[in-house]
Amino acid sequence: MVCRSGSVATALLASRKRPDAVEQEKDKKEEKKDEKKDEKKGLPLKSDRKVEFTTDEGTWLSLDVSPDGKTIVFELVGDIFTLPIEGGQAKLISGGMAFDSQPKFSPDGQWITFISDREGSENIWIMHPDGTGVKQVSKDPNSEFTSPNWAPDGKYVFVSKAQFGIGSSEIWMYHVDGGSGVQITKSKPTPTTERSKRPNAMGVVASPDGKYLYYAAKLGSLYYNQQLPTWHIARRDRKTGDEDNLIHQIKSAFRPVLSPDGKQILYVTRYETATIRNRSLPATFFRATPSCPGGKKLFTTRMERSSGWILPLERKKQFRSRPRYHRNWGRSWISRKRWNKGR
């Protein structure tokens, strides 16, 4: 009896907590809640103000044309719009605080691939032309993606990927259902590799039959407005992995685009100030400058206004598109800094 009573008394005393101890536990719980709230804080999640404006110019616009030749998709200050080929009212299909860029129609016109940092780092995404069905394709927080483009079968997306800290872009391929991707060019430089020996491959486009990849290639790290060493147009056999240097041009040749029949290649060069050139390819031989399905018209932007221009190959007439925009704005700054934990 004594033993049992002592046990009960001890248990009762142990179960009683001093008021100050209870308060301390409450404070700890509140601190944990505050920490969780702080973890979610970062860039503004809502726009601060709305701005409506009409413009006929932009900066470094990327555009593409739908396979049926009726619609242009383009980016403007981090948002993606569609526009009738004849011009008119631009329709926002992807906007908000994320920076979306480099849209590209799939071969069947049912999807658009683009680059977005909406999850904290730039990755490949896809969506329908009306902005629905948004889906993340790649999930790499340690790389920078540029120039996405479709495989002819519409099941894969080719892209240039540069790992942070290395300064070298390689060609990768991702299935639209996701995954870790497959590396196409495999030079695999490291941070200790000399800058002059770090290879780069950008602006990839596949031949209509899917047998070859065309892209701009060069040795050496990337610098804006760099004259030498020059970019050249390379062709890669997807089956054997063999790479041929097709076009060498003074002041570089880059951003190759193939005609729909695969017999002509269009590329950009800084030779003679700024030039778009096309060249016939032997045998089986347009992204930054896409073409209509018939291959008779080109679509591009001009530096004088960075607005949309349609350039028939026979150079008889040019058409200009002047869209109108409506945009929500957030903070008045843009940072290329990568934040930890997606912030």
Residue at 186: amino acid letter: K
CA 68 distance to own-chain centroid:
23
Q: Name 149's bridge partners.
A: 158
Is residue 9 in some structural domain?
Answer: no
Query: What DSSP line would sit under 104-161, residue for residue?
Result: EE-TTSS-EEEEE-TTSS-EEEEE-TTS-S-EE----TTEEEEEEEE-TTSSEEEEEE
Is residue 34 in some structural domain?
Answer: no
Is residue 44 in some structural domain?
Answer: no
Is residue 252 in some structural domain?
Answer: yes
Q: Name 20's bridge partners.
A: none
- What three-state secondary structure class fits 35? helix
- What three-state secondary structure class fits 19? helix
The predicted-structure confidence for 196-236, as pLDDT tens digits, reads as follows 677 788 899 999 999 999 998 887 666 655 555 578 889 99
CA distance 319 to 298: 11
Is residue 39 in some structural domain?
Answer: no
pLDDT of 48 reads 74
Q: How far is CA 139 from CA 116, 135, 178, in A?
A: 11, 11, 8
The predicted-structure confidence for 318-337, as pLDDT tens digits, reads as follows 444 455 555 555 443 333 44
Residue at 76: amino acid letter: L
Handedness of CA 35, 37, 40, 45 (dihedral sign): negative
pLDDT of 320 reads 47
Contact 141, 161 (CB under 8 A): no
Is residue 104 in some structural domain?
Answer: yes
Range of the domain at 150: 53-329
Kindly report the CA angle at 98 between 306 and 142, in degrees rounded to 5? 105
Is residue 143 in some structural domain?
Answer: yes
Q: Which residues contact 222 (CB under 8 A, 6 or more apart)?
A: 167, 169, 200
CATH (domain of 61): 2.120.10.30
Contact 305, 318 (CB under 8 A): no
Nearest to residue 256, comparing CAs of 211, 294, 286, 297?
Answer: 286
Kindly report the CA angle at 302 between 91 and 252, in degrees rounded to 5? 125
Is residue 131 in some structural domain?
Answer: yes
Q: How far is CA 105 from CA 123, 246, 266, 285, 302, in A?
A: 17, 26, 18, 23, 21
Nearest to residue 116, comparing CAs of 84, 146, 87?
Answer: 146
Contact 66, 105 (CB under 8 A): yes
Residue at 267: amino acid letter: Y
Domain count, the chain: 1
Contact 58, 321 (CB under 8 A): no
Q: Which residues contact 113 (CB under 8 A, 6 or more apart)?
A: 103, 104, 106, 124, 125, 126, 137, 148, 149, 150, 157
pLDDT of 39 reads 52
Structure tokens at 72: 């242009």
Handedness of CA 31, 34, 36, 38 (dihedral sign): negative
CA distance 121 to 118: 7
Percent of the chain with pLDDT strictly greater than 90:
35
CA 202 distance to own-chain centroid:
12
Count Cβ atoms below 10 Å from residue 47 Cβ, excluding itself: 15
Report residues of the chain scoring pLDDT below 70: 1-45, 165, 189-191, 193, 195-196, 220-229, 249-251, 271-343
